[in-house]
Amino acid sequence: MSRSLLKALVSSLAVAMAGLIIAAPASAAGDPVRGKALGYTCLGCHGIDTYKNVYPTYSVPKLRGQHAEYLVAALKEYRDSERGHATMHAHASTLSDQDMQDVAAYLSGTEVKTAGGAPAGKVPAAVATCQACHGRDGVGIMGMYPSLSGQHADYLEHSLNDYRKGARKNAIMAPFATQLKPEEVQEVAEYFSRQKPALQTVPRNEKALTAAK
């Protein structure tokens, strides 16, 4: 598919999907207090900013500030093996749907919101297609579109390459990832990792949570 055709499709797709979301019944919000107890083991990796996956080596994704809705979707994809990662499959398989909601509410904390500022640094041409869903500054415009702002660049690059290879299966992202030229993959990953407000690593010694949101 040509890039211009893709661009034309993007906005209509984004709008159509927004309609689907509004039509779906609102899911109950997770309980971050319960989620904190469940999420304790997750911090062994997601609570350390420099933690790396090995073979292949890339940074463990930042989860604080990410949309809770997307975190739940990601956990289901690992559980159902639409997304391959042995450790994450094992963790997700132990969680019920309610557990996922709760752990996602805790890990995401306060979701990043777009500040509407000017983009940081040179904007690669390839980024134009991404903004309909991931926002100008990398803050996903809806809960199902992950925020990319401030995420580790090597993780973003790894994810894009997984979509390109079909190792990560997603009907929406596959065409956008495959239309990137190899040199653009790194460029867009670095661009989004520079943007603010940035996703964060979950702090390991966070104060006790008191109220459910």
Whole-number minimum distance, CB 25 to ligand HEC, in Å? 20
Region label for 91, one of left (φ > 0), alpha (ψ between -120 and 50) or beta (otherwise): alpha
Burial class (CB in 10 A: 0-12, 13-18, 19+), 64: buried
Site string for ligand HEC, 65-94 (x = CB under 6 A): ------x-xxx-x-----x-x-xx--x---
133 scored as a contact of ligand HEC (CB under 6 A): yes
The answer to whether 107 and 33 have CB atoms below 8 angstroms apart is no
Q: Which residues contact 31 (CB under 8 A, 6 or more apart)?
A: 101, 102, 105, 212
Burial class (CB in 10 A: 0-12, 13-18, 19+), 202: buried
Burial class (CB in 10 A: 0-12, 13-18, 19+), 49: middle
User: How many residues in the shown chain lie near ligand HEC by CB under 6 A?
Assistant: 45
Nearer to ligand HEC, 120 or 144 (CB): 144
123 scored as a contact of ligand HEC (CB under 6 A): no
Nearer to ligand HEC, 37 or 212 (CB): 37
Whole-number minimum distance, CB 92 to ligand HEC, in Å? 7
What residues between 172 and 201 interact with ligand HEC by CB under 6 A? 172-173, 176, 180, 188
| Interatomic CA distance for residues 81 and 97, integer angstroms | 16
Binding footprint of ligand HEC on the chain (CB under 6 A):
10, 13-14, 39, 41-42, 44-46, 53, 60-61, 63, 71, 73-75, 77, 83, 85, 87-88, 91, 103, 126, 129-130, 132-134, 144-146, 148, 156, 158-160, 168, 170, 172-173, 176, 180, 188
